[in-house]
Amino acid sequence: MHVKLILPSLQEAGSPDWRPIKYSLFPPLGLATLAAYLDPSDQIELVDQHVETLHTDDCPDLVIIQVYITSAKRAYQIADHYRAKGCYVCLGGLHVTSLPDEATLHADSIFLGPGEDTFPQFLLDFHKRTPQKRYQSTLRTLATLPPIRRDLIKRQHYLVPNSIVVSRGCPYHCSFCYKDAFFEHGRSFYTQKVDAALAEIERLPGKHLYFLDDHLLGDPRFASQLFSGMRGMGRLFQGASTVNAILKGNLIEQAADAGLRSIFIGFESLAADSLSFSNKAQNLGRDYAAAIQRLDSLGIKINGSFVFGLDGDAPDVFERTVDWAVAQGLTTATFHIATPYPGTEYYQQMQAQGRLITQDWDLYNTRHVVFEPRSMSRTQLKEGYDWAYQAFYSWANIAKASQNHAAFNQRLRHFAYSAGWKKAEPVWNFMIQHQLLSPMLQVLETVLDGRTPQPKPRNRDVLEKVL
C-alpha cells in the first residue's frame, strides 16, 4: 500500500524569528521508527515540511502525521484535506496525547503515548479492516524495536543526520514538562538493550552522533555499558543530562572517554524557590559550578537551558541569569518563557488559578507569554526574555565566556561554536538553500573535537556575587 508519513512544520516557520538552521538539525526520527513496522513492499514516503515542500495532490492509502502543539493547526488542516479525499489518517505525538478529544475530530485513528506497542497492533487491525478509533500505549519496551528506516531520511537536508534515541522518557517529573503526559499509563523511562543500541550506532555512517534522549545518563548501568561499548569506535557525540548525574560517580568521565564533547543541561533556574515550584528536585541543592567545572576539565561544551517566568522569578532574573551563564563559560544557552503545556501539572495550576490568557496553541512556543506571571508583568517577561538572548550572544559576552576556559584551544573552540551558532545566519541560510550542510558537519566535528582535560581555576568571589 501507499503510506505517507508527515512532520508538519511548526507555526513559527512563517514568523520573522524563524531560524532555518534550528529546524534543519535533526530528521524526523520518530516517523522513521514507525516506518520500520510497515511491510517492506509498501510504498513509503516520509516528508519533513521544515526542509522540503509538502505536496498534497496525491491520495495515499494511509497518512500518518506527527503533531506538536505549535504545528497542531497545520497538522489538522493536512489531516482534513486527506480525509476529504478518502485517505485513512492517523494522528499521534505529544499534542494528540495531551488533547485527544481535540485531535480525534481530525483523524480516523489517534495514538496516545509511544507507538512501539500500539502501531503494530493498528497495522494488524487496519489490514483486517477493523481499526480502532484510539490506541492507548501501556506496554513500554524497546526489546522488539526493528532497525529504523533511515533509508527514508533525506540526509542532505540535515546538519546532524546521525541523530539517535536509545531510551524513552525521563526518570524525573518536572511540572512544566510537555512529555510527562505522553508516558502516562505505563513506564515513563526505559532503555534499549545495550547490544541493540550499539548495533544501531554501528549502522550510522561517519563520525558524529547526536543522542536525542531526554536524559542519556538517566540509567547509570545502561549508560556505563553503552559508553564502554562505544570506546574505540572513534565517535564524537552530543547528548543531554541532569546536573546530579554529572556530579555522581564517574559516569561523565566514561562518556567523555567514549567521545562525548557537548552536553545539554536543564539548569532552568538559579533560584531554589523556582526549582521547587517546578518540581525540579534533581537540581535542588546541587552545585552548578562544580558540575560545570567537571565538564570543562573534560573538554565538554555546555548548552544550558533556562526558563523565565516561574513564580519565583522577579524582574532581575534575566540579568542575573545571563551574567552567571557568561561567568560560568557556558558555550551556548537556550532561554524559554515558562509555558504551561496542556496535560502538564503546570497547566493545571495555571488553569485552576485563572492565570491562562490564551489557548491559541500557535503561541505555545516558549517565546510568547501565554499566562499571567506572578512577580512581573507580561511585558517585563517578554522583553526580559528577548534581552537575555541578545545579551548572552553579544560579541562581548561570547568573547568573555570563551575566556573562562583554562586551555587556549578550548577558548578558541568555544568562540567558534557560540559565534557560529548565532552570528552566522546568512551563511547557514545559504548552506541550507544550496544543500551544503554535509560539508558543515565536518566543520562541526572539528570544533567539537580536541579536548584538553585539565582542571579549571575559578574565582569563587565573583561567582557568589553573581548568584
Note the pLDDT tens digit of each residue in 325-380: 999 999 999 999 999 999 999 999 999 999 999 999 999 999 999 999 999 999 99
Residues paired with residue 62 on neighbouring β-strands, in sequence order = 3, 88
φ, ψ dihedrals at 182, nearest 5°: -65, -30
Contacting residues for 230 by C-beta, under 8 A, at least 6 apart: 198, 201, 237, 258, 259
3-state secondary structure of 233: coil
State CA 63 to chain mean position distance: 25
Burial class (CB in 10 A: 0-12, 13-18, 19+), 419: middle
**How large is the greatest C-alpha to C-alpha distance in the chain, in angstroms?**
70
Q: Do residues 359 and 343 make contact, with C-beta atoms less than 8 angstroms apart?
A: no
Look at the alpha carbons of 408, 411, 415, 416 in this order and tell me if their dihedral is positive or negative: positive
Q: Do residues 336 and 308 make contact, with C-beta atoms less than 8 angstroms apart?
A: yes
State how far the Cα of 268 lies from the Cα of 276, in Å rounded to an integer: 11
Residues paired with residue 134 on neighbouring β-strands, in sequence order = 110
Whole-model pTM?
A: 0.91
Helices (runs of H) and strands (runs of E) counted in the chain? 19, 14
pLDDT of residue 462: 39
State CA 243 to chain mean position distance: 17
Q: Which residue has the cell 503545556?
A: 341
Look at the alpha carbons of 15, 21, 25, 28 in this order and tell me if their dihedral is positive or negative: positive
Task: Determine the Cα angle at 79 with ends 71 and 44, to 5°.
Answer: 95
Three-state SS string across 386-411, please? Answer: HHHHHHHCCHHHHHHHHCCCCCHHHH
Cell digits of residue 279:
518540581
In this structure, how many other beta carbons lie within 10 angstroms of the beta carbon of residue 80?
Answer: 13
Contacting residues for 387 by C-beta, under 8 A, at least 6 apart: 318
State CA 270 to chain mean position distance: 21
Amino acid identity of residue 360, one-letter, is D
State how far the Cα of 387 lies from the Cα of 251, in Å rounded to an integer: 36
State how far the Cα of 211 lies from the Cα of 204, in Å rounded to an integer: 12
Contacting residues for 331 by C-beta, under 8 A, at least 6 apart: 262, 301, 302, 303, 401, 414, 417, 418
pLDDT in tens, 296-320: 999 999 999 999 999 989 999 999 9
Per-block average pLDDT, block size 10, for the chain (467 residues)? 95 65 89 96 96 94 97 96 98 96 98 95 98 96 93 93 95 84 89 96 94 96 97 95 93 97 92 74 78 93 95 94 96 96 93 96 95 96 97 97 89 92 84 82 84 46 39
3-state helix, strand, coil split of the chain in percent (to 5) is: 45, 15, 40
Alpha-carbon dihedral angle through residues 274, 277, 279, 280, given to the nearest 10 degrees: 0
385-406: buried (b, 16+ CB within 10 Å) or exposed (e) per residue?
A: beebbebbbeeebbeebbebbe
Q: Do residues 193 and 142 make contact, with C-beta atoms less than 8 angstroms apart?
A: yes
pLDDT of residue 446: 87
- Nearest residue to 307 (alpha-carbon basis) of 333, 281, 343: 333
φ, ψ dihedrals at 169, nearest 5°: 80, -160
| Pure H helices in 36-117 | 72-84, 94-98, 100-103
